[in-house]
Chain A
Amino acid sequence: MSTKKASTVIEEFQHSDLSTSFWMGFKATFYRNIKIIWQYKFTLFLGFVNTFAVASLFFYIGNLVPNQSISQDGYIVSSVTYIFAGSMLVDISTRILKKSMNSFTSEMKQGTFETLATQPFGLKKYFVSEITFEVFYSLVFSFIYYIPVLLIFPVFRGLNLSLLSVLSFLLVIVCVIFFFFSLSLLAANVTILVKRGREISMVIIGVMHLLSGSLFPLSLFPDWLRIIAYISPMTLAVQSFRLCLFGQGTLINGIVWGSVVMLILMSIIILILFDLTYKKIYSKIRYKGTMHEF
């Protein structure tokens, strides 16, 4: 059977009454993933130690800054708190991407991806379900891991936040999560084509870490690099996250609303890109017969 015929059969199958509904498939993906995670209970504990190690790294680096204080956007804050806040946001958000990529790489290595591709549920719905789970999983566990870490390193003690700042801060976080959800979808698409999910996510995360200014104020960048840095939505996101936390920043502030608009806009562009490239990539890998990664 030609690839075109196979695609038509699968598409017809997905739209028939016998096809699994999105909600049922979504529930099945959730249930399956929780069962897998439960088999690796020990790694849940390791996750905490790992978070502690990452947080320690940024805590000690913060101690190296002369006078241990940094000023930016009209506020002055301890260098430890400054670095900790920026790095924590980048760490938590990039976990979504890392976990999603790891998941797709494992599916392809173990050969289960091919089976998933032929399910009446549809691969695209599976992508959305899987990444939604990874977003949920990463956020819940980051929250669980960071609570004891913040008790060990009480870097945010004594912060004074107005209600508007808290709301703006939460809005920025929601936008960051939405951005990483869409980025993970597009990256998963690329992963099934080039079969290098882990490496791709590591490079994206590394570049975002560098450009976001998580370790230092962006004023240290030369002008040309600062312009490039602002192309990454995480740069404005980290800046507005810090501004809400330390400088009573609200949505009225240009940096905060700018980051919200940019994150939403980039997320929409990425989602459109995912939708445009998905079919082509899927047809290509089926035509080439490279569903698996050996």
Chain B
Amino acid sequence: MTFILNLVTIVMYFFFSKMNPDMTVFGIPSTYLEFCFLGLSLQMIIGTSLATVCGSIYNEIASGTWSYLLLQFNFIEYSIGSTLAGVFLSSLSVFAALFLAYLFMGSFYVISIQEVMLVILLFLLILIAHMSISMIFASFTIYYQKNSGLVPLLYQLTITFTGIVFPISLLKGFPMIISRTLPLTYGLEALHSIVLADQNNWQLIVTNSMILLISSVFFGIVAIFLASKSITHSKKHNKVDWY
């Protein structure tokens, strides 16, 4: 299902790219398809890393397995394990969709080994940042025993305001502020610079990587603190599970 969804999204923007949006106007040295391909391929993986911890814990609570899991794992182990599993599975479908898209749409990136390493590093930083955010939402789920609906909202904001399908230079005022508070904006900006530009803008890449690293650490610490409080609270009030 995820594979079909990825493919459909890529095909939709492939046809939109046939309207020939001029990306050089925005200072992006590529065609529209090359530009949005990067963001679209990341979109599903980001969604998975954002939703996994929070969604899995909600399901565990609803089905009554959360109390048992608490005996076997700690929160961080559970978060990393479930995120990696989710991301691995969604990556498979994304790679398959990308392969088909490459095959039929003929859009290729030419990048060096050094740039591949940078892309992998950025990819990991983006994943960790979103996993940490998901851990924060998971702690709310543990405390309130409810699904807040914040994750789908954050996902929609991420799709819209991080420059996946249009350059963020189009944004002005409040939308620009939203954009700058979302980690994927920094990740995509650096990725676009590495993959699309002829010359790597090292200052931008290092700054954005540092922002991602610091925000991951910050969100991670906040998440661990909130989760431990929430777990203590749910144990104290004897409501680890719903049933």
Contact = CB atoms under 8 A, between A and B. Distances in A.
Interface of A: 40, 42-43, 46, 49-50, 53-54, 56-57, 60-61, 63-66, 109-110, 196, 199-200, 202-203, 206-207, 209-210, 215-216, 220-221, 294
B171 interface: yes
The list of the 6 closest CB pairs from A to B, nearest first, reads A64-B21, A199-B1, A206-B8, A43-B149, A57-B160, A53-B156
Contact of A57 (B1, B5, B32, B165): B165
Contact of B161 (A53, A65, A200): A53
Contacts of A49: 153, 157
Interface residues of B, number: 36
Contact of A61 (B20, B62, B165): B165
B71 interface: no
Contact of B166 (A60, A200, A207): A60
A243 to B, nearest CB: 20
Nearest to A207: B8
Given A199-B1, A203-B5, A220 B18 contact: yes
Nearest to A109: B62
Interface stretch (B9-17, B118-126, B210-218): B9-17
A240 B139 CA distance: 47
B229 interface: no
B63 A294 contact: yes
Given A56-B175, A203-B1, 18 more contacts: A42-B149, A43-B148, A53-B160, A54-B156, A56-B160, A60-B160, A61-B166, A64-B21, A64-B32, A206-B5, A206-B12, A209-B12, A216-B15, A216-B16, A216-B18, A216-B19, A221-B15, A294-B63
Contacts of B59: 109
Given A57-B160, A64-B21, A215-B12, A40 B166 contact: no
A227 to B, nearest CB: 15
By CB atoms of chain B within 10 A, which of A40, A57, A110 has the most? A57
B15 A50 contact: no
Nearest to B11: A210
Given A54-B156, A206-B5, A215-B12, A66 B19 contact: yes
Given A40-B149, A61-B165, A110-B62, A53 B157 contact: yes
Contacts of A294: 63
A84 B59 CA distance: 36
Interface of B: 1-2, 4-5, 8-9, 11-13, 15-16, 18-22, 32, 59, 62-63, 146, 148-150, 152-153, 156-157, 159-161, 165-166, 170-171, 175
B25 to A, nearest CB: 9
Nearest to B9: A206
Contacts of A216: 15-16, 18-19
Nearest to A63: B170
B152 A50 contact: yes
23 contacts: A40-B146, A49-B153, A49-B157, A53-B156, A53-B157, A54-B156, A57-B165, A60-B166, A60-B170, A60-B171, A63-B166, A64-B19, A64-B21, A64-B166, A64-B170, A66-B22, A110-B62, A206-B4, A209-B8, A209-B12, A210-B8, A215-B12, A215-B13
A220 B1 contact: no
Given A64-B166, A196-B1, A202-B1, A46 B150 contact: yes
Contacts of B150: 46
Contacts of B15: 210, 215-216, 220-221
B34 to A, nearest CB: 14
B159 A57 contact: yes
Contact of A54 (B8, B20, B32, B160): B160
Contacts of B13: 215
A209 B15 CA distance: 12
A166 B152 CA distance: 35
Contacts of A221: 15
B160 A65 contact: no
A110 B20 CA distance: 48
Given A40-B146, A56-B161, A56-B175, A65 B21 contact: yes
A172 B18 CA distance: 29
Nearest to B7: A206
A50 B62 CA distance: 25
A209 B4 CA distance: 13
A46 B151 CA distance: 10
Contacts of B153: 46, 49-50, 53
Contacts of B160: 53-54, 56-57, 60
Contacts of A56: 160-161, 175
B20 A66 contact: yes
B12 A203 contact: no
Contacts of A66: 19-22
